[in-house]
Structure 1
Amino acid sequence: MKLKQILLGLFVAVHAVSFAQENKKEVLFTIDDKPFYTEEFARVYKKNLDLVKDDSQKDLDQYLDLFVGYKLKVSKANKMGLQNNVAYQNELRSYRAQLSRNYTTDTKVTKELINEAYQRSLKEIKASHILFTVDENAVPADTLKVYSQAMDVRKKILSGESFDEAAVKYSQDPSAKENKGNLGWFSVFRMVYPFETAAYKTNKGEISMPVRTRFGYHLVKVNDIRDNRGHVTVAHIMTLKGENPVEAETAKTTIEEVYKKLKQGESFESLAQQFSQDKSSSSKGGQLQRFGSGELSSEEFENVAFSLKENGQISEPFKSEFGWHIVKLIERHPVKSLEEVDAEYDNKIRKDDRSKLINKSLNEKLSKKYPVKREEKVYASIKTLVTDKIYSQEWDVPANMKDFNVKFLTINNDKVVNATAFISYINSQQKNKINIKPVSKLVDHLYNKYLEESLSGYYNDNLEKEFSDFANVMDEYRDGLLLFDLMEREIWQKAKTDSLGLKNFYEANKVNYQWKDRVQVNIFSSTKESVVKKAQGYLKNKKSIDFIKGKLNTKDAIEIMVKSGTYEVGGEGMPKHEKVTKGVTEIVKEGDYYFVTQVNQELPKAIKTLDEARGRVINDYQQYLEQNWVSELKKEFKVKINEQTFAKVKSELQQTK
């Protein structure tokens, strides 16, 4: 079992309406006197009713047994103290943070930003820029000075000075000396949001007004605009580059031979199945999943793929960092629809500057939702503590904080924040080198930030109280994660490390782990039967592979190709010969190809050794251990089922089917 199977089995994280929410909680069963309620059982059962394929699992008596078994395992995990494991707690926090994203955002603003990003994604921009650096927290006078410099340079360019020359002369981007400010082509999410906005709002050939980012002010010149080139579906044949010069040369020779056969009209798909070393795609004729710009790890491969114009067009052999390829265009696809990119863009928006717009909107709502009372005398005292030393990061928190261990804020009439917490926050913000002056305004600025963070934190901490579905999912994930850790320790890891138990299990079941008949062979193939007949004759006369290839292949035409290895008789990769015995087989035709096989050695059926079958034996041993586990847990824990309550909930659930 895997964690995903656990969560998708009993506890799939979907929103569901709780059963009998208006009724008083009723205890369905207890484990060592700990109660478990009908509400949870009914909710989980209904939630998974349409997911189970085995009708027996819909039987409520069997489902109760599964549910009790699950809770027994969780009880065992808690008894062992796995809930105190640091890795477990970190994983739970990570999941909660991920789940909470759907509750801690302004959906309206997010949707508007997704729509904006999608419209921009339809185009790609080629632009240059000139950067005038200024600190993100610079005082207004310094900011105005840099802005004026940017405006002066803009006027010079509009008056005739070359943008490229101005970039070399004035830009504080170090790369400008080499690239003259040219940033190449980019699309949405490639640049910081304010820069991206300026680029998309500036017409081709024009220069933007100075735009402020965290790096400073930019002048953006849009050199060109083009449509997004979309996605493509391609197939490829690949030979790996190899670990040494001999293997590298073999890879190159093989791809050149394959290309010659393609030029002779042979099937791309068949050649991919035989000779491509990309095992993930070779069985599918070399076909890859559709992709767009930047989605593969090889820019060279992408450029070649997008250069193909007609479906079925085949590239010449080319080299990437992985090896040699030949690419065939199967289909071009337009850019994805808004619906297809919605989730992807949502995730990206949360990670860049756009998120500030979302946070601002949410903060405004929270400030209205939760009343805040500030102790004004305490706030005034705090202000007197902060001095100009904060600008040089030399301000220290008072040694005696006793007088400030008092109430400073009250949020929603139930959460109290001490003044010491805010003072510590001010101290932590020194590293950001905020230059707002005078000090009183700096403290006001930090207070507003602190309040926003406090309101957001309070809201996040109370999501379980605000949303019952959130609380249910967190409870289910908490149990599922505990079970995963328990299974890892008690079942999965034990199956891997219990060498004696594994060996005994193997000895008792080794008849289930057998090799089929195998042969060590050289397989010769060609689209021409006459060529294969010649190869068959040479093989019967004990000629070598190199001799046969030398006789039948020429500089301009590859007529015969060979692959060698050990295969199961009748298995994948072996031609379907009627008789496979030591020597030379008859010729068979499959698709467009003729095959003859030289069988060098026959390997009869045999029981695999434990090492040869280890992966499957471990998997079977895990299942064996798990099947016997719940019965042992029922002996360890006292389980008491309230039969009368179960009869009642069963009757109600049967009416909902």
Structure 2
Amino acid sequence: MSLKQFFLGLFFLMSLDGIGQNNSKEVLFTINDKPYYTDEFSRVYKKNLELVKDESQKDLNQYLELFVGYKLKVNKAYKLGLQDNPKYQSELKSYRTQLAKNYFNDTKITQELVQEGYNRLQKEVKASHILIMVDENATPEDTLKAYKKIEDISRKAIEGADFGALAIQFSEDPSAKENKGDLGYFTAFRMVYAFENAAYNTPKGKVSKIIRTRFGYHILKVEDVRNNRGEVTVAHIMILNPKPEDTDQDKAKNTINDIYKKIQQGEKFEDLAKQFSEDKSSSSKGGVLNKFGSGQLSSEEFENVAFSLQQANEVSQPFQSQFGWHIVKLIQKHPVRSLDEMKNELETKVGKDDRSKKITASLNEKLRKKYTYKKDNKQYAILAKLVTDDFYESKWKQPENAKEYTTPLLTINAKKIEGKTFLEFIDKQQKSGMTVKPLAKLVDALYEKFLEAQLTAYYDDNLENEFTEFANVMEEYRDGLLLFDLMEKEIWERAKTDSIGLQKFYDEHKSEHQWKNRVEATVLSSTKIEEIKKALNMLKKNTEVQAIKEKLNINNVVNVMSNSGVFEEGNDALPKSTRFEVGISEIVKEGEYYFVTKVDKVMPKSIKTLDECRGKIVNDYQQYLEQRWVDDLKQEFTVKVNKEVFEKVKKQLNP
């Protein structure tokens, strides 16, 4: 994490607390006649009150000094023109976009979709389907033709015709000829939303109603419903199926059986996978695969064997899939997690899924009710005549005088949107593949999309005006980002690079940075008295610590641990009874551990060198420079505090 991320992360934590607590405001102070109000001061003080550790910052007089200093720095940043930096503007825009997302989300509908998705995740549906393909933007004639075709197939299926046979005969899904339309088991978020709805709303053994997706028209038959098996992590060894031209068709089977015998004889599965598995994507990892759930692999047989294993490290017998011969070892089972554990993940999936259209539709409906908008029908008729059939082939071009169409086409509240903006929108929509016919209906459809886009843009542009908390957070982020750039420029970099100033500051304050008594020592510890006694005897014979550990830590059992280094008085790594004198201690017990300490060198109290306390000195030097800088800023800018108003604020905050 970068310093800027940390700085701004803490800033946002502070900014998002306690917003909108006081709407009344008076001028508390001015900087070069620019007013700063009591409501902001009170809001920021309240939300930071529990975060500050320095009690002096809770004192309102002291806090006012800090707050004025903060605003002085922001004024300095603007004076230096840091707000014009393209990098700053880009970061600010990026943050606003992220923050604004919260205001485009219908929380109620989102949570309903999350709950629906989670409920569905408890079950797995096995279904077959028949597809008649038709483009989303197909002509009415083509759409009707496809619908009549699926309608006829649906009737036959409902009357009892074999669904698999119908899929082979009629389905335009290329895989249907081989799998009879069988999709295997799947759960929520695996299929497009409309298809998922049909799967979960159709009873077992029944045929669904006709459904439309972006692929075309479908019907599906629910073959089975079972509890979700969760996910599983396994390792496998695979020997590829023989090719038709191979002379020894049993070679793969014999090889996998030989490997299985080696596993039964105690050889490590991982080593055998690395040596023999022909799945090169997993063999180097001991055969371990990424965790998966039902319907995520191409082999249902492989999935079924993997899920049939019950205990960790259990190994299957050899079996064959369409890819080859396998042996599977269970690593871990992952049951379906709780809603609380999955909530964030599900919210992300909802946002990326077709079901998010419900959220967008809800927002569009709200905005149509929220704002007053009006179309200029005369101007619309003029613009509509400019659109030609070239649009369908993405060859339509705006008229050469498009920029002259400045008469407002649409008015949202007091905002007027010119006709040329609609022409630009139409031009860009050629890539959307809209094929609505006739042309008049196409332009009407384009206008509806344009209206929704403009309502959304108007809403976005006015978030600061409509939501006080949004305006507050953006203002504080804007200032915080500027302040970071300013501090980096004026203070932080200077403190790191001003070697003469830093040395002088160290010389003036070095007495404040001292080592306590220290020892250079090795501490041996063990929970077993017998082992620590052995370690003590070996220490007394000048045996090296590494040799002691090698002698005592055998058969994968760690009997003795060591910790060597320079330890200051009071360090938790040293036994409390440690004597600060050269030599080997007796065995002492503290808690569950026995300790022996070998002290090689004693170092008395001393002043730390600059290098030994550089981090703390640089930090203190930064604070010193910042305070002097704030004093200079008070001379550069004119600050006037309204003391009478401040006294009123103090009474309100500390009644």
- Taking structure 1 as the reference length, the TM-score comes to 0.69
Give 1:86 shift: 2.5
Give 1:38 shift: 3.8
- The CA RMSD over aligned residues, in Å, is 4.8
Residue aligning to 1:255: none
Residue aligning to 2:439: 439
Residue aligning to 1:233: none
> How does 1:208-247 map onto structure 2 within 5 Å?
211-214=211-214, 219=220, 225-226=226-227
Equivalent residue letter for 2:557: I
Look up the SS of the partner of 1:16 in the other structure: coil
- Cα displacement string for residues 503-526 of structure 1 (whole angstroms, at most 9, x for unaligned residues): 44344444526486353647463x
Distance in 1 of aligned mates of 2:487 and 2:560: 50
Look up the SS of the partner of 1:640 in the other structure: strand
Equivalent residue letter for 1:643: K
| C-alpha contact 1:14 1:473 (8 A) present in aligned 2 | no
Give 1:206 shift: 6.7
| C-alpha contact 1:515 1:608 (8 A) present in aligned 2 | no
Residue aligning to 1:528: 528
Look up the SS of the partner of 2:19 in the other structure: coil
Residue aligning to 1:35: 35
Distance in 2 of aligned mates of 1:558 and 1:64: 61
Give 1:62 shift: 3.1
Residue aligning to 2:19: 15
Look up the SS of the partner of 1:396 in the other structure: coil
Give 1:153 shift: 8.3
| C-alpha contact 1:130 1:173 (8 A) present in aligned 2 | no
Give 1:421 shift: 0.5
Give 1:70 shift: 1.9
Distance in 2 of aligned mates of 1:577 and 1:139: 90
> How does 1:124-523 map onto structure 2 within 5 Å?
124-125=123-124, 135-142=135-142, 159-160=161-162, 171-172=173-174, 187=188, 189=189, 192-202=192-202, 211-214=211-214, 219=220, 225-226=226-227, 336=338, 349-412=350-413, 414-511=414-511, 512=513, 514=515, 517-519=518-520, 521=522, 523=524
Distance in 1 of aligned mates of 2:184 and 2:631: 66
Structure 2 stretches of 5 or more lacking a match? Answer: 1-5, 232-290, 294-305, 315-330
Distance in 2 of aligned mates of 1:565 and 1:216: 71
| C-alpha contact 2:521 2:597 (8 A) present in aligned 1 | no
Equivalent residue letter for 2:387: V
Residue aligning to 2:320: none
The counterpart of 2:8, out of the listed 3, 7, 10, is 3
Distance in 1 of aligned mates of 2:506 and 2:206: 75
Give 1:620 shift: 2.9
Give 1:567 shift: 5.3
Residue aligning to 1:62: 62
- Taking structure 2 as the reference length, the TM-score comes to 0.69
Equivalent residue letter for 2:355: R
Look up the SS of the partner of 1:578 in the other structure: coil
Residue aligning to 1:83: 83
- More divergent stretch after superposition (416-425 vs 62-71): 62-71
Give 1:350 shift: 3.8
Look up the SS of the partner of 2:385 in the other structure: helix
Give 1:444 shift: 1.2
| Change over 3 Å in CA distance of 1:553–1:162 after alignment to 2 | farther
Equivalent residue letter for 1:3: L
Equivalent residue letter for 1:16: G
Give 1:419 shift: 0.9
Look up the SS of the partner of 1:628 in the other structure: helix
| C-alpha contact 1:308 1:315 (8 A) present in aligned 2 | no
2:141 is the alignment partner of 1:119: no
| Change over 3 Å in CA distance of 1:597–1:171 after alignment to 2 | farther
| Change over 3 Å in CA distance of 1:68–1:528 after alignment to 2 | closer
Distance in 1 of aligned mates of 2:141 and 2:586: 90
Distance in 2 of aligned mates of 1:428 and 1:385: 15
Equivalent residue letter for 1:201: N
Residue aligning to 1:558: 557
Give 1:84 shift: 1.8
Distance in 1 of aligned mates of 2:21 and 2:351: 29
- Cα displacement string for residues 47-66 of structure 1 (whole angstroms, at most 9, x for unaligned residues): 65666666654544333323
Give 1:387 shift: 1.9
Distance in 2 of aligned mates of 1:217 and 1:131: 8
Residue aligning to 1:626: 626
Larger radius of gyration: 2
| Change over 3 Å in CA distance of 1:28–1:522 after alignment to 2 | closer
Q: Give identity over the alignment, percent.
A: 47
Distance in 1 of aligned mates of 2:95 and 2:173: 44
Structure 1 stretches of 5 or more lacking a match? Answer: 231-291, 295-303, 317-326
